[in-house]
């Protein structure tokens, strides 16, 4: 069926063919995704060593040291709980009126006795024994001042992505549907016929011009 419809410039402005042309438009709501990177570090000094002598300073050795528990007047569970809560052995001892030096001497008492015995037996010089004791004290002091908990650092990065869609596939715009219907009626076409021509790359002006000048029939 052939129809000749007078097309005015106003019609071209009423409905733009860009509503059908396959073009990419950005959605208004970006999608954010978060990636978490977790790093854990344990810097606990587990042993103090010098001159062949070793003082254990790991958590288990600390909470099971009977001389230390007696010095601090705490139970194993109480000391374990406080250390795992982030307190240092020095902090716990000082809160009970026990000096850091006393804690160090308590943890080193077996090694100190052994070193003295070696000096007496001529296996170790006095100068060397002093050096070994001082080195052990320095390391044990660091252990007494350390925390026995794992430090966890989490870094979160946010990535923003933009979704896209084509206007030809969009069915969400009520305004476009109304304009489509109005334009189709003005041209004497069905919505399907008008969509088909627009998706073929023709603009509203071109479609209207073909109908006006040639009376072209569209299926």
Residue 210 has pLDDT above 50, yes or no: yes
% pLDDT > 70, the chain: 63
pLDDT in tens, 70-93: 999 999 999 999 999 999 999 999
Whole-model pTM above 0.75?
no
pLDDT in tens, 135-182: 999 999 999 999 987 555 555 666 655 555 554 455 445 556 667 777
What confidence tier does 97 reach under pLDDT thresholds 50, 70, 90?
A: very high
Mean pLDDT of the chain: 76
Distance CA 183, CA 10 (A): 11
Q: Measure the N-to-C terminal CA separation of the chain; round to a whole number of Å.
A: 9
CA angle 13, 19, 21 (to 5 degrees): 115
Query: Quick one: pLDDT at residue 215?
Result: 56
Distance CA 176, CA 197 (A): 16
Domain ranges of the chain: 1-22+167-219, 38-155
Query: Quick one: pLDDT at residue 58?
Result: 94
Distance CA 163, CA 26 (A): 6
CB 70 within 8 A of CB 53: no
CA angle 202, 176, 206 (to 5 degrees): 20
The tokens for 146 are: 């350390």
Query: Quick one: pLDDT at residue 9?
Result: 38
Contacts of residue 23, Cβ cutoff 8 Å, sequence gap at least 6: 166, 167
What confidence tier does 4 reach under pLDDT thresholds 50, 70, 90?
A: very low
Distance CA 138, CA 177 (A): 82
Contacts of residue 66, Cβ cutoff 8 Å, sequence gap at least 6: none
Rounded alpha-carbon distances, angstroms, from residue 160 to 29, 33, 102 = 10, 7, 57
What confidence tier does 43 reach under pLDDT thresholds 50, 70, 90?
A: low
């Amino acid at each position: 069926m052939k129809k000749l419809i007078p097309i005015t410039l106003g019609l071209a402005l009423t409905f733009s063919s860009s509503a059908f042309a396959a073009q990419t438009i950005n959605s208004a709501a970006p999608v954010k995704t978060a990636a978490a990177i977790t790093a854990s570090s344990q810097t606990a000094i587990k042993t103090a060593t010098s001159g062949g002598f070793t003082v254990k300073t790991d958590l288990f050795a600390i909470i099971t040291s009977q001389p230390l528990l007696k010095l601090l007047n705490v139970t194993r569970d109480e000391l374990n709980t406080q250390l795992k809560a982030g307190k240092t052995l020095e902090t716990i001892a000082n809160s009970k009126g026990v000096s850091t030096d006393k804690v160090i001497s308590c943890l080193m008492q077996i090694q100190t006795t052994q070193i003295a015995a070696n000096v007496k037996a001529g296996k170790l010089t006095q100068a060397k024994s002093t050096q070994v004791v001082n080195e052990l004290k320095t390391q044990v002091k660091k252990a007494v001042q350390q925390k026995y908990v794992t430090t966890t650092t989490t870094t979160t990065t946010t990535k923003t992505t933009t979704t896209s869609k084509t206007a030809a596939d969009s069915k969400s715009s009520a305004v476009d549907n109304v304009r489509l219907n109005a334009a189709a009626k003005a041209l004497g076409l069905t919505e399907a016929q008008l969509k088909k021509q627009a998706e073929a790359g023709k603009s509203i002006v071109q479609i209207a011009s073909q109908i006006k000048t040639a009376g072209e029939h569209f299926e």
